[in-house]
Amino acid sequence: MDLDRPTDRAAHPAPFAQTLLVGFGRHRGSWLERLLSRHGHGVCQATGWREIRDHRPHVDLVLVRMDGTAEGPDLCRLIRSHVDAALIAVSGENTERERLRAFEAGCDEHLYWWCGPVEIMARIDAVLRWARPRAHTPEILEHGPLRIDVATRQVWLAERDVHLTAKEFDLLRVLAGRSGSVVPRAEILATVWGESSGFAGRSLDTHVSSLRRKLGRWVCVTIKGQGLRMGEPDPPG
């Protein structure tokens, strides 16, 4: 399929989202393409990274079939680094290990293939709501060298553009918006993940580690028994 020509443009002159499917094959790809098209998505497909690299499609969302393969996380990391779009890993495995592999590879969501079309679309819609710019909240949050544009979901550290996943950004926004106050862990889970399960808690820990690695440990300070807060920037070296 031509990556420059998403399907169903005639039926949807202004698609709800442009979506790229990667590695799904003919049968699963066709089923998912029909589902997305019925919900207003313009859809294109690619077999792997080489095709994406050669065509550089402009899309809002990328769905990657991962299914426990060793290559899946590497493909997700490549897409995360080179394609400016929300990223969802789709897998037939619904295990904690598989979900963590997806998040550690930079995905914004892990989608279980067999969960059914209603849940598939609900999860996709939720990711797009968080990932897309919010023109109605032109808010800038600043803390030391850190600058956060809430409307465009961009982050700069000492004038350097830093790319964050959707969940990383949402977590950072919660902490930055509380001006150094402690945010209870349960509140973070409810606000960012919409749940407080054991898996969500482990996902929070993973995203805290990722934010510290990208921005510095001071952005996510753990207050034992209470929660997290944004600390003070490290002094210039």
Which domains can be identified in the chain, with CATH numbers? 17-131 (3.40.50.2300), 140-229 (1.10.10.10)
The pairing of strands 140-143 and 221-223 is unpaired
CB 127 within 8 A of CB 61: yes
Average pLDDT on 221-235 reads 88
pLDDT of residue 89: 94
Tell me if 193 sits within 8 A of 235, measured CB to CB: no
At residue 7 the predicted structure's pLDDT band, cuts being 50, 70 and 90, is very low
List Cβ neighbours of 57 (8 Å cut-off, separation of 6 or more): 3, 4, 18, 20, 44, 46, 83
Task: Give me the percent of the chain exceeding a pLDDT of 70.
Answer: 86
Sheet holding 86-91, edge to edge: 41-46, 17-22, 61-65, 86-91, 109-112
CA distance 138 to 62: 26
User: What confidence score (pLDDT) does residue 197 get?
Assistant: 61
Mean predicted lDDT score pLDDT of the chain: 82
Answer whether residue 196 shows pLDDT above 80: no
